[in-house]
Structure 1
Amino acid sequence: MSKVVWLWCTLLLFCSSVLHADEPGWTLFDRVQQSVTQYNFDSSFVVFKGSKVETFRWQHGRQDDKEIEHLVPLDADGVDILRRDNVVYYFLTDRPALVTTSDSIKELPAILFQESQQIRKLYTAVLGSSSVMSGHTAQLLRLSANDPGRHSYWLWIEVESGFPLRIDVMSEQQTPLERWLVTHMQITPELPDNLQRLLNTELPEPTARQPGATLNPNKLQLSWLPAGYQLVTDPHIVPQLQQNLLNYWLLSDGVHQVSVFVQPTQRMPTQAYRDGATTIYMLSAPEHDITVIGPVSINVAERIAAAVR
């Protein structure tokens, strides 16, 4: 009997150690999320997607109960984006500003801003080795996807501040698909002067959201979803796309989103592309074409497209 009890206790201790093995990693990840939402900082970063390179200046600050964030492209093309609390402004050169509501800028890495508890359901946090990166001591943190069809993340984090210095989005073969690399970062106790001016500048209020386009009823269904994903019940459809759509689904795992478009067939060959971590998969069926766009593997995108019945 004593041997059985001993084995049972050993099993419980082993399970407990497995459950808590990644807690240091999650503690560090919580520091990362706090650093990009609580600090006053001025930074620049580069995004590598294959042969394509984009550069940005990213500033963030808090004053009393107000939060402000500014993302400026440093290339010739791009959109100037400003967020004040939960109002986001897209400043366009040839049109009036587009005003939306969100608690983060969607063009920044979603993993930095989404609910930590939801991220913990999808990933395992594992600490790696430390290294020197641009004069800063950086700690590697691997967020390994629990499902093989989901991309993993490798984050290099400044030890002193918890600020992310580099984020690699990894394929299922553990090769980088997309890289986000900080080239300059300065944390200050006070709000930068230009953010202070933007905080006090009068800007338009967001307009009420217009009803999304509705599609004609049909018998098409999506019979399979990737692990962790659910259908968004009321996805917004851009009215300009309505006339070309037979059906549309939006999938979300609480961190990422995948769009599924069904259109009349153009009898094009089946094609698959990757734009960094984003997969674009197009399946040509006898009666309709299916396009899947989102941060999933090509195999998962293929299964989603095949699940349209």
Structure 2
Amino acid sequence: MIANLFKAEFIVLPLKWMKAVLIITLCCFSFYVFSEPLNTSVGDDLDSMPRQSAIDESVITLLNNMKNTVLNTDYKIHFVQQESNGYSNTFQYRHLGANNENYANLLYLEGAPKEIILHNDTVSYFQPESESFSLAIKHIIEAFPDIIYSDFNKLSEYYDFVLLGKSRTANRNSQLVRIIPKDKDRYNYVLWIDDDSNLPLRIDLLDLNSKIIKQIKVLDVNFDFDKHAFKNYIEDRDYPIIIPINKEKQQVNSWQIDFLPKGFSEISAYNFDFDKTNIDTGIFSDGVFSFSVNVSKSPLANKLANVIAQGERTIYSANINHMNIVIIGDLPPETIEHIANSINIKLP
């Protein structure tokens, strides 16, 4: 889980608002539990595959069809998530999207029993080791990454979409599409899209050297599960209340940022009090990748910056002008550091 990243020996982070940053982070990012190492050599093979050099409308149509299938059809899948130098876990994911419904359920199949449920544009987390809670978000971010829900017409300004040809996975034929940023400030993806259903059957996140750093691989697909029983299961549950964030303002006042990778923009900004600590938080995204900047007063004088990367997640922390800066994002460490170095702290 993300909470495991906040260790004192790596991050200069005030403990009394660690929970606040965790809640904000969960609104934009997912948490993962793994147990087996990932074979990253597959990324090298992708570079040698034949490909179309130009983006055409058929690629964008294919990606839009994939998005529509994920959102607006009924399906049940089992999949495995793996991360380089980390672990793996298997999941069951059920989704009802036809008939203007929006229900989903993600069940962890290994370790402690954990369950995430989407209902009425709310996602509820049930975990035995902590209190259950709900967030006002419209899809389960632990199932599919943001790239699956992107506006691909808009992304074409900042990303290239490259057809890699045909492949086979989960006993189904698929079309491979690589999504490559036009700069070196972010990672890239390879998607295996089912020929019959347009569901994404495999999602590889590649680093700047084309090594796989995270992979989602579907094991089986079922379109004929008991949808009525599943809907009743969702509707009959009792759910925890949504976690409120007491927003005092819709803008931040203690800092400004001078560098953003192309296509990134601020999607939300909060200034709020948590346990008598005032925090300025800004969340930025290009529709594929996201990061948050969190600034609060710090009694510490140490200006030494700390950077830790785990999979695609990078966490940066430093104290500048008696302000604590924490940046959390699914971007390369070099990009996060570039962003951090561009932040100007406004002196009182």
The TM-score, its normalising length taken from structure 1, stands at 0.80
Percent identical among aligned pairs is 22
Residue 131 of structure 1, CA deviation: 1.8
Matched to 2:295, the amino acid is V
Work out the CA distance in 2 between the residues paired with 1:78 and 1:243.
Answer: 34
Aligned to 1:49: 83
Shift of 1:95: 6.1
CA separation in 1, counterparts of 2:113 and 2:76? Answer: 19
Higher mean C-alpha displacement, 166-175 vs 286-295:
286-295
1:160 aligns with 2:193: no
Q: Deviations over 1:213-264 (max 9, x none)?
A: 679x865332222221122343375825x6274x432222234321112352
Aligned to 2:211: 175
Where does residue 23 of structure 1 map in the other structure?
57
* Alignment length (residue pairs): 289
- Alignment of 1:302 with 2:307, yes or no, is no
- Per the alignment, residue 181 of structure 2 pairs with 145
- 2:311 pairs with 1:276: yes
The corresponding residue for 2:261 is 226
Q: Deviations over 1:67-126 (max 9, x none)?
A: 211111112246411112412222243666423322211223111123344433432211
Matched, 1:256 2:289: yes
Distance 2:272 2:217 in 1: 33
Label 1:182 to 1:203 Cα distance change in 2 as closer, same or farther (>3 A): same
Which deviates more from structure 2 when the two are superposed, residues 121-130 or residues 259-268? 259-268
What is the aligned counterpart of 1:37 among 71, 76, 84? Answer: 71
After superposition, the C-alpha distances for 1:14-42 in whole angstroms (9 at most, x for unaligned) are xxxx9973322111111211221222211
The answer to whether the 8 Å contact 2:281/2:292 transfers is yes
Please tell me whether residue 89 in structure 1 is matched to residue 124 in structure 2.
yes
Q: Report the CA distance shift for 1:34/1:147 in structure 2 as closer, same or farther (over 3 A).
A: same
- Structure 2: runs of 5 or more not aligned: 1-51
Task: State which of 155, 158, 168 in structure 2 corresponds to 1:122.
Answer: 158
Counterpart CA distance in 2 for 1:79 and 1:27 is 36
Give the aligned residue type for 1:133.
T
SS in 2 for 1:305: helix
Largest Rg, 1 or 2: 1
Match of 1:221, SS?
strand
Structure 1, 71-80 or 169-178: larger mean CA deviation: 71-80
Structure 1: 4+ residue segments shifted above 6 A: none
CA displacement at 1:183 relative to structure 2: 1.6
Cα 1:307–1:63 change in 2 (3 A) is closer
Output the CA distance in 1 between the equivalents of 2:117 and 2:273: 22
State the TM-score, normalized to the length of structure 2: 0.72
Residue identity opposite 1:251 in structure 2? F
User: In 1, are the aligned partners of 2:170 and 2:218 still within 8 Å (CA)?
Assistant: no
CA distance, structure 2, for counterparts of residue 231 and residue 89 of structure 1: 26
Deviation, 1:146, is 2.3
